[in-house]
Amino acid sequence: MIQISKLIKTYENGDNKLYALNDISFEIKDGDFAVIVGASGSGKSTLLNTISGLEKADSGSIMHDGKEIFGLNDKELTAFRRARVGFIFQAYYLLPSLSVEANIKMGAALAGNNEAAGIIEAVGLNGKEKRLPHQLSGGEQQRVSIARALAKKPAALFCDEPTGALDEATGRQILKYLIQIQRESKLTLIMVTHNSNIANLATQIIKMSSGKVVEIIKNPEPSDIDKIGW
Amino acid sequence: MVTLKSAFKLISVIIITVVVVFICTTFINYPLDLREIEYLITSTEMQEAFIGAQVELADVIIAATVGLFGSIAALILMFSIRQFINQNSAEFGILKALGYSENRIALDFSKFGISVLAGSAFGYILAYLASPAFYGMLASDYELPAKVVFCFRYQVFLVVIVAPALFFSLLAVLYARLRLRKKALDLMNGASEIRINKLTQRLQTKGSKFTFLEELKRTMLSNNLILILFMGFAAFVFAAQVQTAFTVRQLLDNMLMTSTFIISGLIVGSVTLLLALTFLIGKNKKYIAMLKAYGYTGSECGKALFGGYRIVTYIGFLIGTVYQFLFIAFIIARAFDNVTVKFDVFGFFITLSVFIVAYELIILLYKRRIAKIPLREIMQA
């Protein structure tokens, strides 16, 4: 379970203090699919980065399965990320000089194995394991980045606009795949998106505005990917 | 656009030019200045033995210096221009989209010649200031009828200051013109993405049984072939110059010349090495950030990034050792009779020890730099 309590993060802007996150508290249960929605600049990416240990908060508490990560130093945060979390970004960030297989090994190696074959098959990239990222379509690259994240066997998967750079059809495919994996493996999935339609797929919707959580909606019956607008 | 400030940022080019021009000015001017007192030397034997030998010595040193250091300075300049264009590709794309011609934009790169001009001028002044000590040392074994004095010659000035600046300006323009041939849109959109060369593609297509970090180390090497040249050169120059200093000390027992070789080796070797490492980190910043986000430590990233280059630098060191021995033996055979050069084993081990310590320290420093790369790199793109 991820428990966030009274989280505050500020940025200096000249003489002003800008609250990127202002007194945020909520919980995400294990195996939940939480979506963070809000307009540009509402603080949703900062929230995702802070919960996942990519950025540090000014104050508050971030508990992952009872372990506090607020206040950890860089070395401890690295160890935390290594052991517990996976990431998927809008821009994929695949290592450009490495093949699909080697990119997936990046995640697999951290889970203690150097085999990528099984996961390549699972993401439907059979026959493309020796290709380099630039030889793949956007959707395929995002599949590799999903495979890389899953190969790490994370307890929680953090996704920042994973379909932001994709067309509707590919975006739907990717989401379908992610949700399927999340449900099958009971993975905790936390996703940031500006697309409010995607929110209907989640079991928990966290709405943000100006650095604050303005609404938390529990959604026990999430929609089907084929039934939502885009 | 290219500003004078960006030209002065080419510190590596400036420093290497200072060293090249210092050595060239000294060894071009010295035989000419020597000729000024030639009429005072009455003995033909002395003329042949001294002036002839000194002129030949100067010729060989100039050829070796210009050939070696000059070509690496040209490579660094082209490398820096490529980096500059990659870093500012969006800006150049906008300029092209606004209607600026490729020639007009490329012409701006002539300002990079300023860095060479600055380095040349400084090297020339340094050669002038050091001339009394240098000339005294070069003529120390002979009873000359008059003192050799550094004379200003506009021909030398043109050759060592104006010509290199013009040449490098032209090179910068032509190279920039070549790099700016892309479409405006391509320049604006991700033209700074890392390119994958054919060797890397071939290696990746074949697949491998290597672990992830070993695989990454392999591609860091195969996809940055120019850096192999720079790293190898850095070690080569260090080994060659510092060991030459030991040999010179053995033959001439002159501290000034010994220190000049050591300092030039240290400066050019370190500058080239630092430039290559800085480039390697700069080019891979966001991917290093991604590795760190996944939980790889700074040390693991450093090993993958730099580990493959260790063997390259040690090979460069060995080639530099062989080169300096053969070079010195060749010069001595041409310039002096009855002098044989022995391989300085003590000098070799001292140089190797200093090299190992210096190299590993620099790598450690850069690993710390990697540890400091902010994870924000992956959030800002």
Residue A10 per-residue DSSP state: E
pLDDT in tens, chain A (230 residues): 999 999 999 988 888 888 999 999 999 999 999 999 999 889 999 999 999 999 999 999 999 999 999 999 988 999 999 999 999 988 888 998 899 999 999 999 998 877 777 788 878 888 888 899 988 988 899 889 999 998 988 999 999 988 887 888 888 888 888 888 888 888 999 999 988 888 888 999 999 999 999 999 998 888 877 777 77
Among residues B247, B377, B228, the alpha carbon closest in space to that of B301 is found at B377
Tokens representing B21 are: 């021009």
**Hey, are the CB atoms on A97 and B219 less than 8 Å from each other?**
yes
Give the pLDDT score at B45: 67
Which amino acid appears at position A80 of this protein? F
Indicate if the pLDDT at residue B202 is higher than 60.
yes
Give the pLDDT score at B21: 87
Helix (H) or strand (E) holding B123: helix B113-138
Number of helices (H) and strands (E) in chain A: give both, helices first. Answer: 7, 10
Phi-psi domain of A223 (left: phi exceeds 0; alpha: psi -120 through 50; beta: other): beta
Cβ atoms within 10 A of the Cβ of B153, count? Answer: 13
Give the pLDDT score at B283: 81
Which of B201, B220, B292 is opposite residue A132, by nearest beta carbon?
A: B201
CB contacts, 8 Å: A114 with chain B: 211-212
Q: What is the mean pLDDT of chain B?
A: 82
Which amino acid appears at position A110 of this protein? L
Determine the Cα–Cα distance for residues A58 and A71; give it in Å rounded to an integer: 9
Question: Which of B86, B205, B215, B220 best probes binding to A when mutated, by most A CB atoms within 10 angstroms?
Answer: B215
Q: Classify residue A64: in a domain, yes or no.
A: no
C-alpha Rg value of chain A to the nearest Å: 17
Give the pLDDT score at A206: 95
**In contact, A147 and A81? CB cutoff 8 Å:** no
Indicate if the pLDDT at residue B44 is higher than 70.
no
CATH number of the domain to which A96 belongs? 3.40.50.300
Q: Which domain holds residue A170?
A: 29-56+73-225
Main-chain phi, psi angles of B85, to 5 degrees: -65, -40
Q: Classify residue A181: in a domain, yes or no.
A: yes
The residue in chain B having the minimum alpha-carbon distance to the alpha carbon of residue A127 is: B205
The residue in chain B having the minimum alpha-carbon distance to the alpha carbon of residue A85 is: B294
Which of B196, B211, B376 is opposite residue A132, by nearest beta carbon?
A: B196
Q: Classify residue A138: in a domain, yes or no.
A: yes
Determine the Cα–Cα distance for residues B237 and B243; give it in Å rounded to an integer: 10
**CB-defined contacts A:B, below 8 A:** 91
CB contacts, 8 Å: B290 with chain A: 93, 95
CB contacts, 8 Å: A86 with chain B: 294
Distance of CA A219 to the CA centre of its chain: 19
CB contacts, 8 Å: A108 with chain B: 212
Burial of A123 (0-12, 13-18, 19+ CB in 10 A): buried
Indicate if the pLDDT at residue B256 is higher than 90.
no
Query: From the CA of A131, how many Å to the nearest CA of chain B?
Result: 7
The residue in chain A having the minimum alpha-carbon distance to the alpha carbon of residue B209 is: A114
- Residues in A lying within 8 Å of B, measured between beta carbons: 45, 49, 54-55, 74-75, 78-83, 86-87, 89, 91, 93, 95-99, 101-102, 105-110, 114, 129-130, 132, 134, 152, 160
Q: Classify residue A130: in a domain, yes or no.
A: yes
Q: Classify residue A157: in a domain, yes or no.
A: yes
Cβ atoms within 10 A of the Cβ of A198, count? Answer: 25
**In contact, B202 and B290? CB cutoff 8 Å:** no
Estimate the share of chain A in helix, then strand, then coil, as percent rounded to the nearest 5: 35, 30, 35
**Hey, are the CB atoms on B219 and A98 less than 8 Å from each other?**
yes
Which of A55, A86, A95 is opposite residue B216, by nearest beta carbon?
A: A95
Question: Which of A44, A45, A76, A97 best probes binding to B when mutated, by most B CB atoms within 10 angstroms?
Answer: A97
Q: Classify residue A37: in a domain, yes or no.
A: yes
**In contact, B188 and B89? CB cutoff 8 Å:** yes
Q: Classify residue A9: in a domain, yes or no.
A: no
Residue A14 per-residue DSSP state: T
Q: Classify residue A221: in a domain, yes or no.
A: yes
Query: From the CA of B198, how many Å to the nearest CA of chain A?
Result: 11
Residue B26 per-residue DSSP state: H
Give the pLDDT score at B268: 83
Determine the Cα–Cα distance for residues A99 and A103; give it in Å rounded to an integer: 6
C-alpha Rg value of chain B to the nearest Å: 24
| pLDDT tens digit sequence for B47-58 | 666 666 667 667
Q: What's the structural domain count of chain A?
A: 1
pTM score of the predicted model: 0.77
